[in-house]
Amino acid sequence: MANFPITKQGYTKIQAELDKLKTIERPAVISAIAEAREHGDLKENAEYHSARDKQSFIEGRVLDLQDKISRAQIVDPALITDKIVRFAATVTLFDLTQEQEITYQIVSEYEADLNNNLISVTSPIARSLLGKEAGDGVEVSTPKGIKEYEVIKIEYK
């Protein structure tokens, strides 16, 4: 499998989730399984089956996060001095349709969170922005039609 870029903040977030799963969630579910076993017949024990399902989810998530961590290439935006849009850029755009500014940071698909203006490098808007400079116009095809933006500012922070 190929390596993938991720910001320092994204890497830290993934590492924190893995640590929580290993040190808090995993021991808690093991205790829940042990307690449910004490209740007798496992075939009809809903608590036991629920705890086993949760354990299965936790173990799968641990494996997934360990894989991500092993393949991650950490990118520190503060070390980038480009004047064009690349991975980890924070881009301020002017939405020509709604006549308002919006700022996005281009991050990995594992970090994307539209509520915090973090967009995946694979998203249509990020793909349209890559390689652009301040002052460039951008057209993005969305399910609601074509959106037009102007790149106002590019920062790496």
Query: Does the pTM exceed 0.85?
Result: no
Question: Is the CB of residue 110 less than 8 Å from the CB of residue 10?
Answer: yes
pLDDT value at 1 more than 70: no
Place of tokens 């024990």: 45
Place of tokens 């017949």: 41
Same domain, 17 and 71: yes
Distance CA 75, CA 54 (A): 33
pLDDT value at 30 more than 90: yes
Distance CA 109, CA 90 (A): 15
Name the domain boundary from 75, 99, 128.
75
Question: Is the CB of residue 70 less than 8 Å from the CB of residue 135?
Answer: no
DSSP at 82: -
Same domain, 94 and 130: yes
Q: With bands split at pLDDT 50, 70 and 90, how would you rate the model's confidence at 56?
A: very high
pLDDT on residue 144: 82
Name the domain boundary from 30, 46, 75.
75
Same domain, 93 and 37: no
Same domain, 71 and 82: no
Bridge partners for 142 per DSSP: 145
pLDDT value at 123 more than 70: yes
When mean pLDDT is compared over 30-39, 42-51, 64-73, the highest value belongs to: 64-73
